[in-house]
Structure 1
Amino acid sequence: MDTNTLDPEKKLPEVNPRLPRSSTTPDEPWLRYVNIDIIAYVLSYTLFHPWTSWVLVLCLRAQHTPWHHTEIQVAMAWAFAMSTVSFFNVMSDRIAFGAPREVDLAEEVIVITGGVEGLGGLLAETYGMRNANVAVLDTKRVGEDEAEEKGVLYYECDVGDAEQVEAVAKEIVEDLGPPTILINNAGIVRPKPILDSTAAEVEQTFRTNTLSHFNTLRTFLPHMLREGRGTIVTVSSVLGHLGAANLSSYTASKAALHALHQSLRAELAQNPEARDIKTILVSPGQMSTNMFAGVETPSSFFAPVVRPVDVAKEILRLVEKGESGDVVLPLYSSWISVLGLLPAGMKALVRRWSGVDTAIAKAGLVQAGRAVEKSG
C-alpha cells in the first residue's frame, strides 16, 4: 500500500464545483406565468366540476347544515347545474362523434407527416419512446442512428407529391403493417404580401398545406376501412378562421383544411364501414415553434403563446381514448367563430387591437420572405 495515501499532511487538489442552475430561464414575477387559460383550467376542475360541487354539498351536511338553509340550497342548485352541463356535454359528443373505439398502441401503425421537428417531432418521439409503430414522412433527412435511438422509421417524402406518398405507403405496409392512425401535420409558411408572392410559391404552399391531406387520405384511408378502425388528425390553425396580412397563402390553405375536415367527417358518417374511424381537428393559436419565431401576441394574459407539448398532450389524449373531437388552444381560439357574428366596425376594432394584421411585419418576417417548413 502506498503510504502517501495515508499522509494526513498531504493536501488534496482543489476542485471548483459547478453546481447546476436551478433554472435556465430568467427570474420573472410569478404573475408573468398566469393567464386566462390557467385560470380556466383550474376552475374546470374545481368550481365548475360536478364532483367538486357535490363535495361542497357533502361538506355542508357534515357540518349539520339544515336542508332549508340558503347556503346548502345554493350549493345543491349549483351542483345540479354543473352535473346537467357535464351530462349534456357528454351526450353532445356522443351524438356528434359516436362511441369511442378501442386503441392498443401495440396494434396501431402511426403515420405522421412533417414529423422531424416541432409538434410533429414531439408526437413521433413520444410514440417512439412508447414502442409504438411510427412512420414519419418528411422532406428532411434523419440519420439511421438518430432514427434507431428514437424508435421511429423516417421516410424522405414530399407529401405534396401524390406519387411519392403512394410509393412510401407501400414501404410502410411492408415494414410496419397497414396504417391506422394518420396525423397530417406537414406545412410551410411564406410571409409575403399577395402582390409579392409568385405563382410557384403559392402553389407550393397549397401543395404542402392542403393537397398533401388529399394525397394522404386517398392513400391511407382505404387501409383503415379494410382494418375497420382508424384515427385521422388534421392539424390546421386558428388563422384559417381569421386570415392575416402577409400570410394570404398560408391562411387560405389552412381555411381549406377546416372545410376538408368537415367534409371528411360527413363522408365517414355515411359509410357503415367507417364507424370506428375517428377524426380530430387541431386548430391552435400561435405556438412557440420556429414557424412564427419573433411574433408577439397582443396580451400574454388573454392570448398566451401555446407550447407544442400542450397541444401534443391533447392530441395524444384523444387518440388514445379512441375519440373524435377538436383540439383548440389557447382559450381564445375556441371563441374565434364568435368574431364573425360581430358588426363590421367591431370586428375591425378587434383585429386592430389584436395586431393580427401587423404582427408578421413587426417581427421582421415579411422582409425575409422565406419559406419555413412547419415544425409545429
Structure 2
Amino acid sequence: MTTPKRILTTPSPSTSPPSPPKQWHVHLTLDLIMTVLCRSILHPFIAWIIVLCLRAQATPYDHPAFLIASGYATLLTIIDIAFMISDRIAFGADRTVDLGEEVIVITGGASGLGRLVAQIYGLRGVSVAVLDVADEEDVRLRGWEEVGGVEYYQCDIGVRGEVERAARRIEEDLGTPTVLVNCAAARINGQPLLSLSAETFQKTIQTNLLAVVHTCQVFLPQMLSTENGGTIVNVSSVLGQLCAAGLADYSASKAGLSALHRTLEAELRVSGNGDKVKTVLVESGQISTPLFKFIKTPSSFFAPVLEPSRVAQEIVSMIDQGRSGVIRLPTFAMLANWYAVLPAGLQRIGRYLSGIDLAVPAESAQTDQPGQENLRVEKK
C-alpha cells in the first residue's frame, strides 16, 4: 500500500453557466407535504398547544372541541411513545459517542455521498480514513482543497488483501477504527439481463456486496476490541426491493447487501454485542450523484431525486447519536415494505403507474464512459 494522502474535499468554483431556475411546482413533492404535516398537525407538541389554547379561552372540559382536541393530542402522544419503545426494543440502548476518540472509515469517499460524510467529519476535527480506488492524481485534478484530519488510502475494497493492508495502516496512522461507512459502489450499467456479461455482473456483485463482506470482517473485530464499540453504516438502496428493469446487477447486489446487513445485526444481537456495535442501514431512493446521472426519476412528486447532503446529514445524525436503525428516504421508500404484501395485480398496476420500469433509458446500454471502466463511485 502507498502511504496515506490527505483527502481533498471542497470543490473549486465551476465556470459552467448557471442552470435555468426550476418552476415552482417542481419543489412540490410528497416529501415536502409530509414534512409540513409531521411538523404541524401530526406533531404531538402542536396538538397539545391547541388544547392549551382552548383552555386559555376557558373552554369547558366537556365541550366537544376540547374533547376532540385532547383525544387527538393523546393519540399522537401514544403513537410517538410507541415508536420510541419499539426502537428501544429493536435496537437497544444508544451507544455513547465521543468524536474526539472516534476513527471513521469511509469507503468510496473520494466522491458523492461518501465525500460529503468525510467532509462533515473532517471539518469537525474527527479522524477520518477514506478508502477509494481513485489514484492520487485523479483526486488532485478535481481541484479540492485539503481538509485536516482526513487521510486518503488508495484501496480496491473488492480485494481482501488490500482492505487488510489498509486497515493496518489506518490503525498505525489514526488509531483503532470505530465507525465504518460503506458508500462505495460500482457504476450503473443500465443494461437488460440478457445484455450483461457474466464478468460485468460479477464485478457489480464484488464491489457492491462482496466488498462490504471484506470491510465488515476486517474492521468489526477492531470495533469489538475497543471499550466503546462502534457503528457500521451500510448504504443500500430501495431498488433492492423494487427491482427496476435494466438494473438486474445493481438490484441484486443491493438486495444482497440489505440481507447481509440484517443478518449482521441479528448476529451482533445474539452474541450480546448489539449495544456495543450499532448498525445503520440506508435504503434510499435516487440520489443526485454521478452514479445515477443518466437515469430519470419516474415521478418527481412521489420519488424526488435526493440531494446527497440530505442523506449525509441523516447518516451523520445516526452516528453522532450512537443509534441503530434504518434510514429510508424519500417518503415512498418507507412504503416499499408494504408494496411487497400487495396482491400481484396491484403491484403490477403500481409499477405501471409509477413508471419505474421505464426509468432506465434504452440507450443507456451503450454506457461505457471513457475512463470509467474501473471506477467505483459513491453509491446510491
Normalised by the length of structure 1, the TM-score is 0.90
Q: Which amino acid aligns with 2:321?
A: K
Match of 2:222 in 1: 223
Alignment of 1:227-238 (within 5 A): 227-228=226-227, 229-238=229-238
Note the 1:1-376 alignment, pairs <5 A: 24-142=18-136, 146=144, 148-149=146-147, 151-188=149-186, 189-228=188-227, 229-361=229-361, 364-369=363-368, 373-376=376-379
Q: Deviations over 1:339-359 (max 9, x none)?
A: 122222221121122222221
The CA deviation at 1:195 is 1.9
SS in 2 for 1:102: coil
Deviation digits for residues 294-347 of structure 1, max 9, x if unmatched? 322232111111111111111111110110011100000110121122222221
Whole-Å separation in 1 of the counterparts to 2:246 and 2:368: 10
Amino acid at match of 1:129: L
Say if 2:92 and 2:274, in contact at 8 Å, map to a contact too: no
SS at match of 1:137: strand
Aligned residues between the structures: 353
1:99-128 superposed Cα distances (whole Å, 9 cap, x missing partner): 101111110000000011100011011111
Shift of the alpha carbon at 1:28?
Answer: 3.8
Q: CA-to-partner distance for each residue in 1:232-267, whole Å, 9 max, x for gaps? A: 001000100011222111110000011101100110
- Structure 1 contact 278–323 (Cα < 8 Å) conserved: yes
SS at match of 2:134: coil
| Structure exhibiting the larger radius of gyration computed from Cα positions | 1
CA distance in 2, matches of 1:293, 1:338: 28
CA contact 1:232–1:279 (8 Å) conserved in 2: yes
Structure 1 CA distance for aligned equivalents of residues 19 and 47 of structure 2: 38
SS at match of 2:100: helix
Unaligned runs of 5+ in 1: 1-22
Amino acid of the structure 2 residue aligned with 1:169 = A
Structure of higher RCO (CA pairs closer than 8 Å, 6+ residues apart): 2
Once superposed, what is the RMSD of the aligned Cα atoms?
Answer: 1.8
Alignment partners' CA distance in 2, 1:327 and 1:136: 22
The secondary structure found in structure 1 opposite 2:147 is helix
* Structure 2 match to 1:6: none
CA 281–239 in structure 1, closer or farther in 2 if over 3 Å, else same: same
Taking a change above 3 Å as real, the CA distance of residues 274 and 327 of structure 1, as seen in their structure-2 partners, is closer
Report the Cα offset of residue 24 of structure 1.
Answer: 4.5
2:53 and 2:259 mapped to 1: Cα distance?
49
Percent identity reads: 44
Q: 1:365 to 1:227 in 2, by over 3 A?
A: same
Q: TM-score, normalized by length of structure 2?
A: 0.89
User: In structure 2, how many angstroms separate the alpha carbons of the residues matched to 1:28 and 1:192?
Assistant: 31
CA distance in 1, matches of 2:328, 2:97: 23
